[in-house]
Amino acid sequence: MPELPEVETIKNDLQKSLPGLQITDIDVIDPRILKACHQPDLTVALRGKTIQAVSRRAKMIVMAFKEGGFLCAHMKMTGQLIYGKRLDQKETKLIFKLSNRMFLNYNDQRLFGRLFYLSTLDKDAYLSTLGPEPLQNGFTARWLAEAVKRHRIPIKTLLLNQRFIAGIGNIYASEILFDAKINPQKKARRLSKVEVDSLALSVRRVLSEAIKYRGTSMRNYRDPNGQKGRFIERLKVYNREHQQCPVCRNSIRRIVQSGRSTFFCQHCQR
């Protein structure tokens, strides 16, 4: 699933291309994509609207329109937003026709993604529960020190909770904890001040570095040009079970926490 760095890359690219363009028409290739959103009127709400800005909240793309209203796109497992020529791939489910004769294609092989229209953002039940954005000013070591105290669960599991902090998923949770030298099984409220400080730093460092390399393409992630992210070559522990830790050369371990794989170095992360 695209996490913060991947969705940030998509947002940055779309923000360069889309503002000022009008959605002239919408081709629904596979109606199941709208059924999943419970919004059959999505196409009615969007037709004729002019895109004002593209932003990101957590792992979601949020498109604002000049006439008011927002389109939110949560790509989940296999969703992709590809800008340019019209795609006629099997996984292309919906196509926005734009006023510059270009297209914004929504691909979703497994149909887990969600596209939905909101007239206002502040009343949305999901958006209003999200935790702070880790790359914005509200996220500080001081905030983190207070926030972890309220949680008895392992720090790895807590980092995946979007209500705690927005945008981190399974790949970056493992990478961040390796960077911070924190054992993923450690209970959140047991973190020392030194650990909290280094965690806050690692959250920003790993996510920023991943954005620089345009994200990680494990399987399906593609940017709006259809290109893969290059951060996969820079992953230090994720998906590297039995391989050498890049710091101490001991073997990287995989464990399962709350049903998700965690990768870490037992020697470096105590």
Closer Cβ to Zn ion, 64 or 247, answer by number: 247
- Please say if 233 is a catalytic residue: no
Nearer to Zn ion (CB atom), residue 71 or residue 265: 265
- Tokens for 209, please give them: 């570095």
Does 268 help bind Zn ion (rule: CB under 5 A)?
yes
Q: How far is the CB of 177 from Zn ion (least distance, A)?
A: 12
Whole-number minimum distance, CB 268 to Zn ion, in Å?
3
Residue position matching structure tokens 């081709």: 27
Q: Is 3 a catalytic residue?
A: yes
Select 155 or 268, whichever has its Cβ closest to Zn ion: 268
Does the active-site annotation cover 222? Answer: no
Site string for Zn ion, 50-79 (x = CB under 5 A): ------------------------------
Which one, 158 or 268, has the nearer CB to Zn ion? 268
Site for Zn ion in 242-261 (CB under 5 A): 245, 247-248
Closest distance of CB 266 from Zn ion, Å = 8
As measured in angstroms, the least distance from the Cβ of 248 to Zn ion is: 3
Task: Give min distance, CB of 175 to Zn ion, in A.
Answer: 13
Cα dihedral across residues 206, 208, 209, 214: positive or negative: positive
Q: 3-state SS string over the chain? A: CCCHHHHHHHHHHHHHHCCCCEEEEEEECCCHHHHCCCCCCHHHHHCCCEEEEEEEECCEEEEEECCCCEEEEECCCCEEEEEECCCCCCCEEEEEEECCCCEEEEEECCCCCEEEEECCCCCCCCHHHCCCCCCCCCCCHHHHHHHHCCCCCEHHHHHHCCCCCCCCCHHHHHHHHHHCCCCCCCEHHHCCHHHHHHHHHHHHHHHHHHHHCCCECCCCCCCCCCCCCEHHHHCCCCCCCCCECCCCCCECEEEEECCEEEEECCCCCC
Report d(CA 95, CA 175) in Å as an integer. 35
- To the query of whether residue 214 is one of the catalytic residues in this protein, the response is no
Q: Which is nearer to Zn ion, 9 or 198 (CB)?
A: 198
CB nearer Zn ion, residue 104 or residue 265: 265
* Residue 267 binds to Zn ion (criterion: CB under 5 A): yes
Task: Considering the candidates 59, 93, 114, 222, report the single residue annotated as catalytic.
Answer: 59
Q: Tell me how far apart the 2 most distant CA atoms of the chain are, in Å.
A: 58
Instruction: Provide the minimum distance between the beta carbon of 194 and Zn ion in the complex, in angstroms, as a whole number.
Output: 18
From CA 33, how far away is CA 36, in angstroms rounded?
A: 5
Tell me how many residues contact Zn ion (CB under 5 A): 6
Binding mask 191-230 for Zn ion (x = CB under 5 A): ----------------------------------------
Nearest residue to the partner Zn ion, using Cβ: 245
Positions in the binding site for Zn ion (CB under 5 A): 245, 247-248, 265, 267-268
- Known catalytic residues are 2-3, 59, 260
